[in-house]
Amino acid sequence: MSETVRKPVLYSAVQPSGTLTIGNYIGALRNFVKLEKDYDCLFCMADLHALTVRQEPAALRRRTAELAALYIACGLDPEKNIIYAQSHVPMHAELAWILNCFTYMGELSRMTQFKDKSAKHADNINAGLFTYPVLMAADILLYQTDVVPVGADQKQHLEICRDIAERFNSVYGDVFKIPEPYIAKSAAARIMALNDPGSKMSKSGEPDSFISMADTPDDVRRKLRRAVTDSDGEIRVDPENKPGVTNLITICAAMSGKTAEEVCAELQGKGYGALKDATTEAVVSVLSPIQAEQKRILADKQYINDVLKNGSERASALAFRTLRKVYKKVGLYQL
């Protein structure tokens, strides 16, 4: 990161708990590459967060490497950006403990994601699931982050992060920068579930509800063939009355680089089969080269290790500055 002219810091963390979807790609990944020039960016594999749900150890390790490789395959330069695993920087957990002491039970109990995950994993409602937003706040505040890309489901987490930082600063002075949500200059297309266009596409949904970044051309074709449409046959953008068709048009446009209007004009009168075929072609044309590059990167284990080691060292140097200041402020004896 530049030491001469400080760029604003952008921080993003993703759990390596499943393969990302094309919704993640369209809404975030493909836009990250454009941010290198204007921001000092940190991209974190949030493996500690993933532990709030039981993980198969070998799979978690593999998915962490796969996510790092995917970032690079999508065009992120590991020299210009910091790409690292959360567990490789112990300061995340250390700051989280301090911030736990400045976070109220009532705040955490109101978090909608805690309620949702508790319902899904009723046999494993653990303390980590409850205090998850505090670790997320530590992730962000460690790096004096200016902006955080957030989806609708993460806004509440950023709000509590800001509350915790402001509470700490009110006691100890200007310690943490108060992060703002990152809003892309051009609003990202909202990609919905293929089987339920009233819900956001998510990697935690039913297998046929999303297209993952790892899906084969046959997988993509099969899932899009089964995607919900309607009975009137007209290809037009109408989110209220034709949510399924609108979602397919949005995906086709985003992956082909065309506008929704251009997609509709090209397919006018051709029916939903043609729309699904065009969308399949657009998705596969983007995914295939990314998958080939990810596979090439993963074949070189030493390279992935080097990227994550370098990233952890650079992240640790930044995180240590903040943590040392926090420890001094709260009165911990310094050696």
Would you state the pLDDT for residue 274? 95
User: Is 197 domain-assigned?
Assistant: no
Q: Which of 99, 165, 109 is nearest to 134 (CA)?
A: 99
Whether 56 maps to a domain, the answer reads yes
Burial 178-204 (b: 16+ CB within 10 A, else e): ebeebeeeeebbebbbbbbbeebbbbe
- Asked if 258 and 244 sit in the same domain, the reply is yes
Query: Does one domain contain both 233 and 248?
Result: yes
- Check whether residue 287 and residue 305 sit in a common domain: no
Average pLDDT, the chain: 91
Same-domain pairing of 84 and 228: no
Domain identity same for 269 and 311? no
Query: Has residue 239 been placed in a domain?
Result: yes
Domain assignment present for 305: yes
CATH number at residue 63: 3.40.50.620
Assess whether 314 and 275 both reside in one domain: no
Residues annotated catalytic, as ranges? 117, 200, 203
Provide CB contacts within 8 A for 199, sequence distance 6+.
192, 193, 205, 209
Per-residue confidence at 31, pLDDT binned at 50, 70, 90?
confident
Per-residue model confidence as pLDDT tens digits over 297-323: 999 999 999 999 999 999 999 999 999
* Confidence at 160, pLDDT banded by 50, 70, 90: very high
pLDDT at 4: 56
Domain shared by 267 and 312, yes or no: no
Residues 304 and 269 in one domain: no
Instruction: Quote the percentage of the chain above a pLDDT of 70.
Output: 95
Is residue 191 one of the residues assigned to a domain?
no
Alpha helices for the chain (secondary structure H): 22-24, 30-32, 47-50, 57-73, 91-100, 105-109, 112-120, 127-141, 155-172, 217-225, 243-256, 260-267, 272-298, 301-330
Domain span including residue 236 = 207-294
Please tell me whether residues 179 and 286 are part of one structural domain.
no
| Residue 94 sits in the same domain as residue 160 | yes
Distance separating the N- and C-terminal Cα atoms of the chain = 28
CATH of the domain at 219: 1.10.240.10
Question: Looking at residue 35, what DSSP letter applies?
Answer: G
Residue 1 domain flag = no
Domain count, the chain: 2
- Whether residue 78 is predicted with pLDDT greater than 70 in this model: the reply is yes
Say what the pTM is. 0.89
